Amino acid sequence: MMAPRGRILATRFGLNPNSSSLGVDVTFLLVGAAALSIFTPVIGALLRLKRREPAGE
Amino acid sequence: MSERTRVRAERFGAIAELVRPRALVFVDRAFARRLGVESEGWKADPTGDGALGARPLSAPIEAHLQLTNRCDAGCQGCYTGATPHGAPGEWGPVEWKRAIDHLAARGVFHLALGGGESAILPWLGEVAAHARARGVTPNLTTSGLAGLDALVSIAHLFGQINVSMDGIGPAYAAVRGSDRFAEADRAIRRLRAVKREIGINVVVTRVNFADLDEIIRYARRRRLNEVELLRFKPAGRGAATFAGLTCSDAQHRAFWPTVARAARRHRIRIRVDCSYTPMLVHHRLDRKLLERLAVYGCIAGDFLVGARANGSLSACSFAPVAPGRPKLDELESYWEREGAFGPFRTWREADEPCRSCEYLTLCRGGCKAVALHVEGDATRPDPECPRVVDFRRGRPGRIRLPVAI
């Protein structure tokens, strides 16, 4: 049996330089869910292409 | 800089960092396994799979470090109350680097360095390089009013640098209390000449709200890569000026349509800070889309933590020092402690009208720093949330229809 593919739950884009709060990029709020649906598989593919380096090591 | 994907196991699955495009990606357990991540805790907790937000993260994704509280700008709304003398017992590079080691070991991905004015610190580059070496991306906010020559020479060490810019020309002085627009503008131009990832932070007040379009146009003209819009917070000197500078209720309700129009017109990336989530969800934005973009309200003591110039740990930069007065390098032992970060983790027990709000799990009751200042109780609903305003006016359940932008 094939292992389940799994899913991306959420994506936070960009870096937050502001040292007083956590900003969120609102670009996708403007372009909508459809655009994000197209972009999400690309993010997934990029993740799988990269070799893993555990955070905290 | 390494471009390998850093991955951190979480109860729901994992968080993975992408460098191009810059993103933190939250995935479920099955996806995490495909990235090579496995956690002992998953077997004992089968219901946690994919449950992002159900519990605090295993560690913050980001730490906000006030490297110093020294600054001579004297801005009237400074949320740290910075002075030319700084704060007692400020940490130096040895302590900050040790704390960064601790944060890196916990899997923290990003730092947001600020002050005071951190650009005046002769060891800023040393600390930023240390973070880079530990795999943690340092980002910086600066006024651009001091330490510019040194900052330009180390700008490459940072992921993103934003300069505080609350108005164009004379409007700058109206918000900040001193006419130093030309200096800040010069800093932006010099930084942009050596680095692409330069943006501006804009504290939105009732004074500059009408100028937002002009400010965003300015950012576009300077070829900046982003504008970050920040709600005015009643902390530091901002506590005394809050009543006069915080946006009006009408401005809060108009915030999202205004921002959306400007973003479309000027085609520049706009970020809004966590405290603006009540003003976004007021317009009944697509809940699923907000979830998929991890748009949350108060995530202090969860997704992020703050540290004062003396290393004291807080839920966020506006929050009082955490109960028990832990230091940043005690984060690991403090994080799981019962009652850690006090009211910042009790949003699930929110009062009305948050309790019945369909966006509660995202918004989390709005900004607790504002609630603490206005209500004297950080557990109270954000008093500037339009839904809360309507509820208190006896108009519960008033609904805005989605806005076509």
Instruction: Check CB contact of B403 with chain A, cutoff 8 Å.
Output: no
- Rounded Cα distance between B25 and A43, Å, is 8
Is the pLDDT at B401 greater than 60? The verdict is no
What residues in A contact B66, CB-CB < 8 Å? 19
pLDDT tens, B210-262? 999 999 999 999 999 999 999 999 999 999 999 999 999 999 999 999 999 99
Torsion of CA A38, B219, B273, A56, to 10 degrees: 70
Q: Which has more pLDDT, B3 or A9? A: A9
pLDDT mean over B75-89: 92
What residues in B contact A10, CB-CB < 8 Å? 25-26, 52, 291-294
Ordered alpha helix ranges (H), B35-78:
none
Instruction: Check CB contact of B104 with chain A, cutoff 8 Å.
Output: yes
Is the pLDDT at B404 greater than 80? The verdict is no
pLDDT at B2: 47
Computed over every residue of chain B, the mean pLDDT equals 94
Contact check, Cβ <8 Å, B52/A9: yes
pLDDT tens, B98-153? 999 999 999 999 999 998 999 999 999 999 999 999 999 999 999 999 999 999 99
* pLDDT confidence band for B1 (50 / 70 / 90): very low
- Mutation pick from A7, A20, A49, A50 vs chain B, by most beta carbons of B within 10 Å, is A20
- Rounded Cα distance between B227 and B208, Å, is 15
Tell me which residue of A30, A26, A21 sits closest to B203, measured CA to CA.
A21
- Rounded Cα distance between B184 and B167, Å, is 10
Q: Residues B245, B209: contact at Cβ < 8 Å? A: no
Is the pLDDT at B4 greater than 70? The verdict is no
**CB crowding B142-152: b at 16 or more within 10 Å, else e:** bbbbbbbeebb
Q: Which residue has the tokens 């300077």?
A: B222
pLDDT at B178: 84
* pLDDT confidence band for B328 (50 / 70 / 90): very high
- Mutation pick from A13, A16, A25, A38 vs chain B, by most beta carbons of B within 10 Å, is A16
pLDDT at A36: 87
Is the pLDDT at B286 greater than 60? The verdict is yes
- Rounded Cα distance between B119 and B154, Å, is 10
pLDDT at B396: 60
Contact check, Cβ <8 Å, A10/B4: no
pTM over 0.90: yes
Strands (E), B73-146: 110-114, 137-142
pLDDT at A23: 76
What's the DSSP call for residue B83? B
What residues in B contact A36, CB-CB < 8 Å? 289, 292-293
- C-alpha B1, offset from chain centre: 24
Backbone angles phi, psi at B62, to 5 degrees: -145, 140
B5-9 and A24-25 as β-strands: parallel, antiparallel, unpaired? Answer: unpaired
pLDDT at B279: 97
Instruction: Check CB contact of B164 with chain A, cutoff 8 Å.
Output: no
- Rounded Cα distance between A55 and B5, Å, is 9
Ordered alpha helix ranges (H), B114-226:
124-133, 148-154, 170-176, 181-194, 212-221
Q: Residues A47, A53: contact at Cβ < 8 Å? A: no
- Mutation pick from B228, B271, B275, B403 vs chain A, by most beta carbons of A within 10 Å, is B271
Contact check, Cβ <8 Å, B289/A52: no
Angle subtended at Cα A22 by Cα A49 and Cα B103, rounded to the nearest 5 degrees: 65
Is the pLDDT at B175 greater than 90? The verdict is no
pLDDT tens, B184-199? 999 999 999 999 999 9
Is the pLDDT at B397 greater than 90? The verdict is no
Neighbours of A51 (CB within 10 A): 9
Q: Residues B108, B59: contact at Cβ < 8 Å? A: yes
